[in-house]
A and B are shown apart, each in its own frame.
Chain A
Amino acid sequence: MDLSVTLGRLTLRNPILVASGTFGYAREMASVVDFARLGGIIPKTVTSQPRQGNPPPRTVETASGMLNAIGLDNDGLTHFLHHHLPYLRTLPTAIIVNIAGKTEDEFVHMAEQLAPHEGAAAVELNLSCPNVSGGVDFAIDPIVTRRVVQRVRQVCPLPVLAKLTPNVTNLVPIAAAAAEAGADAVSLVNTFVGMAIDWRRRRPILGNITGGLSGPAIKPLALRAVWQVARQVAIPILGVGGIATSDDVMEFLLAGASAVQLGTVNFYDPTACQRVAEELPRCLEHLGAASVREVVGTLRLPGS
């Protein structure tokens, strides 16, 4: 069984990755998961400067999901490059460094600083964190998305993935902009903005008032986003949103994702990513496939 997948210039051992912000900096999971089973790890988003993040409560459980408003709590790029990356590069899987800038220039400078360091297989641009007050959701605008991706491509030789927000009326032009600008793949989708209220106290539950919804609750929404973009834009897709089982993975592959990211499931079923990777070959066999590639985007539509 050939599990390898190719996303533009990035080739991975298998299509099972763990999503940024749901796997810490991997060291937390060293005694939990055998990293060699994974196609890749995307560590928590790094920003140019350290950020304390949002006041707690930062998460709240909702029906079959959770809202989070962590606020990109991290120690900044310099710390990441000197403390986390040297560890991450020793792991037996691909490391995709996820960065977020407050401005276009910040994205570009961070990508420039990352480029000479060994250990990153690719860079994922977090164009879509919903929880950064005063920050701009870059990926609501195709023009901005195109410009950021283009400029990062110019300074950084690594494969570039653009992680997009679903909080738009139409993802297609934004994914198309990322593709035209030279992104190797798009990650679809980041969380859906939502909120939770404690009516007895007349207060929002999250310290940040609103947060990003994730978990099984959003899987149908993410699946639809992947399918819609896959039909209309010629760019490899990493599917992300509520994926928890090998069945979920197969659904995303058929919808048109070349690889997937497991996210919230890492919180409530910490060995799921490894189990899903182990189960995948049997699912592919069930369809008579000898590789992951040959099932991608093979959904049969009514009348076909």
Chain B
Amino acid sequence: MTGFAHTLAPVIENVGLARGTYRLRVHAPALAQAIRPGQFVMLRLPDSSDPLLGRPFALYDTYLDEHHQPAGIDIVYLVVGKLTGLLAHVHSGDRVALWGPLGNGFPALPALEHLALVAGGIGQTPFLAYLRELLGTRGYGGDAPRRRVDRVSLYYGVRTQELAAGIEDFRTAGATVHLASDDGSLGFKGFVTQLLAQHDAPQHLVGCGPEPMLKALANLAQRWTVPCHLSLETPMACGLGICFSCVTRVRTADGWDYKRVCVEGPIFEAAQLIWE
């Protein structure tokens, strides 16, 4: 965990992207220079004991200053509870407590022709920075940009069109975007994994979203015999590995054990996971 920072970060902007969905930009240079795609930060409203705990948010992307140096980070969040409800009312100039970078981040991959990112609901948020890293348009954690994958597809499913957030960001960053919605209001009508199954298998799959979607993706990956990594989200108190709250069941040499999603994840190989 090099480059760790715990700061009171000024909010630059907090803009609506979709129904109940916002992009928060905070000034945090040390954090922005260290963080890598797939890692996350803990965010807390300072001077509040209710909500008391921070919440984990994936890096959406870093933003650069006029000298093209990372100046801060963007997170994209959906209002689902107490903290995100309050966060939606945060303004430019307010401060939020932040700590990170946290978690293992997406794996380094061999050179690939085609990789598919598969997102459900608010699960698209870790993928923008990863997409830019894979296509070599942005370097992270002090690394120079280097293209690793020829072609990246984003399969993105939402309940309904109004909840789709950031599609233009992904297109602009170079992904081929395939959309699905439960009610058919956007793209394919049905689950994103059903849409994906109609296409040819990519060489690698990376997924983030609700657990039923991740299970379906893990099954598809197994059927296709394609390596698959999943980014998990579990309730977390600290993000640092000290509370042992956020565990998930992971296969071990002699059966299984609970592993902390915050430090041993949030990215796991799909085949390692044991679903409840």
Contact = CB atoms under 8 A, between A and B. Distances in A.
Interface stretch (B48-56, B146-154, B180-188): B48-56
Interface in B243-265: 243-248, 257-258, 263
Given A32-B6, A59-B237, A271-B6, A64 B244 contact: no
Given A65-B52, A268-B52, A59 B247 contact: no
A66 B242 CA distance: 15
Q: Identify the interface centre among B50, B82, B99, B241: most chain A CB within 10 Å of its CB.
A: B50
A216 interface: yes
Nearest to A60: B235
Given A31-B2, A32-B6, A267-B237, A64 B243 contact: no
Contacts of A61: 51-53, 82, 237
B82 to A, nearest CB: 8
A194 interface: no
Chain B interface main SS type: loop
A215 B238 CA distance: 13
Contact of B243 (A31, A216, A267, A271): A267
Contacts of A269: 44, 97
A270 interface: yes
Given A32-B4, A216-B49, A56 B241 contact: no
Interface in A38-84: 44, 52-53, 56-61, 63-66, 68, 70, 73
Contacts of B244: 21, 24, 44, 53, 58, 70, 73
B242 A267 contact: yes
B245 A58 contact: yes
Given A24-B240, A31-B2, A52-B258, A268 B54 contact: yes
- The contact size tier of chain A is 20 to 34
Contacts of A59: 235, 237, 243, 245
Interface residues of B, number: 30
Q: Identify the interface centre among B234, B241, B245: most chain A CB within 10 Å of its CB.
A: B245
A198 interface: no
Nearest to A22: B242
A23 B242 CA distance: 5
B141 to A, nearest CB: 15
Nearest to B49: A64
A4 interface: no
Contact of A266 (B2, B242, B257): B242
B240 A270 contact: yes
Contacts of B97: 269
B1 interface: yes
Contacts of B54: 267-268
A32 B240 contact: yes
A75 B6 CA distance: 30
A28 interface: yes
B122 to A, nearest CB: 19
Nearest to A28: B241
A18 B257 CA distance: 26
Given A31-B2, A268-B54, A270-B99, A56 B235 contact: yes
Interface in B43-66: 44, 49-54
B79 to A, nearest CB: 16
A56 B234 CA distance: 9
B6 A268 contact: no
The 7 closest A-B pairs by CB, nearest first: A24-B242, A267-B238, A28-B241, A59-B245, A64-B49, A31-B4, A267-B237
Given A22-B242, A56-B246, 14 more contacts: A24-B240, A28-B240, A28-B263, A30-B1, A32-B4, A32-B99, A56-B245, A58-B244, A58-B245, A59-B237, A66-B52, A68-B243, A267-B242, A268-B237
Interface of A: 21-24, 28-32, 44, 52-53, 56-61, 63-66, 68, 70, 73, 215-216, 264, 266-271
12 contacts: A21-B243, A28-B242, A29-B240, A58-B247, A59-B243, A64-B50, A65-B52, A66-B53, A264-B52, A267-B53, A267-B54, A267-B242
